[in-house]
Structure 1
Amino acid sequence: MRVERARKLISVLTLLLFTKLAVSQVVLAPSHSKDASNYDAANNDQSKLGTVIDSSDGEIASDSAVNDDGSDLVIGDHLICNSVECYPKVFEPSSGWKEIRPGQRLPVGLDIRISLEKGTKEAKLPEPVSEGAGGEGNADSEIENVVIDTEGKIIQHSEPDELAEEAVEEQINFVFNDHEVEGGPEPREITEDTTDLTIAESVTAESASNVQAAHEFSKDFAKIKSLAQLSSDEKNWEEVESILDDLVEFAHDYKKGFKILSNEFELLESLSFNDELAVSIRELAARIIISSLRNNPPAIDFVNENYPQTTFKLCEKLAELQAFRGSKPLVKRFLSILDVLLSRTEFVSIKDDVLWSTYKIEDPSSKVKILEIISKFFSERNEAVINNTELDMKTVQKWVNELTTIIQTPELDELHVRSFFHCISYIKSRFKNHVKIDSDFLNWLINEIELRNEAAKNELYKRDDGQLEFDSLLAESRHAIFGNPNAARLKERIYHNDELLADEL
């Protein structure tokens, strides 16, 4: 009798265990279900405000998705809203595990796990990794533009690099309650030592010499140096190119990118600026630099603090490349490096004539990049530099003409619209009647204000405070900056009187 009861008890426990495992099963591959198809269709159906003109620069367009219950999930420029609440579009990591909300994008290099207890996807900043954990056994995750759909499945979007032919392999490190998924990367050696991220954030001009020279890529760069020092007959540039090509993949990683730049920036800069080398080698060296800098503030600050002349060198090389055929890939790289470095400098200085001459001969995507650089120069935070710069008003007018023309392009994404509009507004406010604004731009501004006022009737649209703030700025600038300021005051007074009259009634 007891044996029979024991058998029944074992059967019940086995059934419960099997059921629990079946419920907790997780699909790691991208879903091809009907809901995933709806997501893709909605993602492709972008509105005017979310269209990206140059996805190679990492700009994010607005998306849309569908909740499990069929309600709309609206993804704006900064917020994601459903019928109940709004939350940030970009996931904000911390040292502890935090739930990844539907539709959120993840920064590079986070640890991700799937909690079986809560049934949610979670992420956090990477754990400290010991010095000896680097190299072949290091399985740092490289996550770029990862989106969690409304079913909780992970959808991976690979943004193309500046050239269409570049492809970056993304590695996602899935963790179940602190244990990595079977078949995934090998476990990392975790210690309590200071992380590379902490080292990167604390680097200054004085502490730069403390950055360790030894890293997992030391042998690769030592090989490049040895090959470059050989005589002309013995040099094997094909091997150098092969090594650089392998290093590009690692430069995209947050921590590895900083390691590369903090130890090997001078070598990479000399290779990219060497006029005697083939364009392919120079372009690879420049690509490693920009890959290490992009979305990596500590790396940007390191270069700005320790190599402040790099921005001027880039302008000089851009001037030299204008008469050199076949240099367009290299021009793109130099412009991107210049733009990223200027994004975190206290004072922005440029060579206006070089940028203008480059602008006239380059393709549309490079022109957008140049206008981004111009927008960083003509801004309120750069007032001190502008005050001490002799500006040719004819050249300033040329930039205004280009900015007011490109901002009317329907394909231009919202982030560029805001950046270029702030630049146009600043130039007009500072130079007033010395700068002329054409009627086409004013007509576009009036039409844009009407479109945004109509969109503001949507309750979900109103929840994006950043969007409403910019829309309000557009409306105020119509008369205050680009029209008659007296008309703006009159309109405000009439509106105020109407409110008083309504209160009395």
Structure 2
Amino acid sequence: MPLFRKISHTLFFLSLISPFCHGEPQLITLEPTTGEGEAHHNKHIERQQTVIDKENSDLYYSGDLICNSVSCYPKVFEPLADWQEIKPLQQVPKGLDIRINMDTGRKETKIIEKNIPDPKMVDISHEFVDDFRDLNEAMKQNEENKIIQILDKLDEYAHDYKHGSKIIKYEQDVLSELMLSKVYGDKVKEISARVLSGCLRNNPPAIQIYNPRYVDELVNSLIFEKNPIVLKRYLGVLQTVADKASNSSNLFTNLLKVYKGDIDNQIKLRVLEILSDLELSDARGKGLVKRSVNGKDDKNEPTLQQWFNEFSTNIQNSQLDEYHLKRFFHTLVNIKKEGGSNVKVSKDFLNWLSKQTEERKEALNDDLAKRDLEQYEFNKKLIESRHLLFGNPLADRIKNFNDEF
């Protein structure tokens, strides 16, 4: 074989294997060949390109995936400790072992053994590892003051979206154990519940991974907790995860017992907030309306009228903020729509609604208020419902006629 052809073949072979060497790929630039060697080289490239184009012709990108008419796979290759085939167009991270499978002719890769992380360390890699290691040690030594000190520190980070998710993902067991503990004092239970509530509130990823078993244990603990501060914290946690309770009857029964107990008004409002959230989310049929309708023959189950009375009374609380006023009002609308004329509206509630209507009419004419579309729509709904839903629909028609006249 002529010397220039041997050199050409050697360089071409090196160009094929060079990307599979460890470290940064070394680019090899081939000088143009001439004569017979050039023709042979071009035919080889043409055949190889034809195979690649045919294989990838129906592939397309879809977000972080590469798809064809049959299936999809990740755009970025996800390495494991075992050899895996690299699929067409996949991006391969640096620092991996790469080979060509001699049986299939396909490229394969895996994590280099020395870089495989210790399995014991994989699930504890977060910013608070040291804090929770100290916390577990303090629990073993029964050092309650140190436990409180560490929990206070964690509470500062719990409301952060990312930190809250990590704490729930890796450390929900120890925090739930402390919250529901029968060994430690009320201060430990109160702060651990505060940390959990901070992590879970307005944090859907954290809520999703919170274990329903702890929700059921929390529901069972409600009726035995005598400290009103701890009970408020328990309800704060429950408000974020109540729809994860496995037994809705037990949830409602215990919330009702708490509500009827000799407790302060803040706890009653917390219970109503949870019930309102369940009603408006209608989580798996746990809403008030469905429960009252389905359990209308159960003497222990409050009627729609009783729930309407409770919400219509508490919505008049001058200390109630706008967010909870909206939630309570939407709950009242749901109950009234379901109960119809069987749900009676008190004179006190109608008087409150009349005052609200006049105040919100003024707000509708405020150009600045119109910029808040959500608030604007709520004001309109409240005004319209005064007669159409909670009052006399005929009065609304007469009023509109007079306004037009």
Give TM-score scaled by structure 1 length. Answer: 0.49
- Are the aligned partners of 2:212 and 2:245 in contact in 1 as well (CA < 8 Å)? no
Deviations 1:460-490 (A, max 9, x none): 2233222221122112212332123455456
Relative to structure 1, is the Cα distance of residues 227 and 462 closer, same or farther in structure 2, using a 3 angstrom cutoff? closer
Structure 2 gaps of 5+ residues are 1-119
Contact 1:252/1:292 (8 A) holds in 2: yes
User: How far does the alpha carbon of each residue in 1:148-190 deviate from its partner, in whole angstroms, 9 at most, with x for none?
Assistant: xxxxxxxxxxxxxxxxxxxxxxxxxxxxxxxxxxxxxxxxxxx
Question: How far is 1:368 from its partner?
Answer: 2.1
Q: Residue 180 of structure 2 contacts residue 221 of structure 2 at CA under 8 Å; is this kept in 1? A: yes
Residue number among 191, 216, 225 corresponding to 2:136 in the alignment: 225
In structure 2, relative to structure 1, the CA distance for the partners of 1:259 and 1:408 (3 Å cut) is same
Give the counterpart letter for 1:373 in structure 2.
I
Partner residue in 2 for 1:390: 295
**Structure 1 regions of 5+ residues with no counterpart?**
1-208
- The residue number in structure 2 matching 1:369 is 270
Counterpart Cα distance in 1 of 2:255 and 2:158: 27
Q: Cα gap change, 1:217/1:458 in structure 2, threshold over 3 Å: closer, same or farther?
A: closer
Instruction: Report the aligned-residue RMSD.
Output: 3.2
User: Residue type matched to 2:182 in 1?
Assistant: D
Q: 2:336 aligns with which of 421, 424, 428?
A: 428
Higher helix fraction: Structure 1 or Structure 2? 2
Q: Residues 210 and 262 of structure 1: is their aligned pair in 2 closer, same or farther, counting only changes over 3 Å?
A: farther
Taking the aligned partners of 1:217 and 1:224, their CA distance within structure 2 comes to 10
Q: Which amino acid aligns with 2:386?
A: R
1:378 pairs, out of 271, 274, 279, with: 279
Q: Which protein shows a greater Rg? A: 2
Matches within 5 A, 1:85-484: 212-229=123-140, 235-303=142-210, 307-321=211-225, 324=226, 327-342=227-242, 351-359=251-259, 360-379=261-280, 381-382=282-283, 384-386=285-287, 387=290, 390=295, 394=302, 396-484=304-392
CA distance in 2, matches of 1:315, 1:370: 12
- Contact kept in structure 1, 2:223 and 2:254, CA below 8 Å: yes
Shift of 1:417: 1.2
What TM-score do you get using the length of structure 2 for normalisation? 0.60
- Aligned equivalents of 1:358, 1:261: Cα separation in 2: 27
Identity of aligned residues (%): 36
Q: Secondary structure at the match of 1:213?
A: coil
* Displacement after TM superposition at 1:403 (Å): 1.5
- The residue aligned with 1:17 is none
Distance in 2 (CA, whole Å) between partners of 1:355 and 1:475 is 32
Cα distance, 1:280–1:488 mapped onto 2, change above 3 Å? same
Shift in Å at residue 443 of structure 1?
Answer: 1.4
Distance 1:396 1:352, change over 3 A: farther
Distance 1:252 1:406, change over 3 A: same
Provide the secondary structure at the position in 1 that maps to 2:123: coil
Q: What is the alpha-carbon distance in structure 2 between the residues aligned to residue 383 and residue 442 of structure 1?
A: 32
SS at match of 1:216: coil
**Residue 445 (structure 1) shift:** 1.0
C-alpha change, 1:399 and 1:275, in structure 2 (3 Å) is farther
Contact 1:348–1:382 (8 Å) recurs in 2: no
Contact kept? 2:360, 2:383, Cα under 8 Å: no
Native 8 Å contact 2:216 2:246 kept in 1: no
Partner residue in 2 for 1:87:
none
Structure 1 position 429, deviation (Å): 1.2
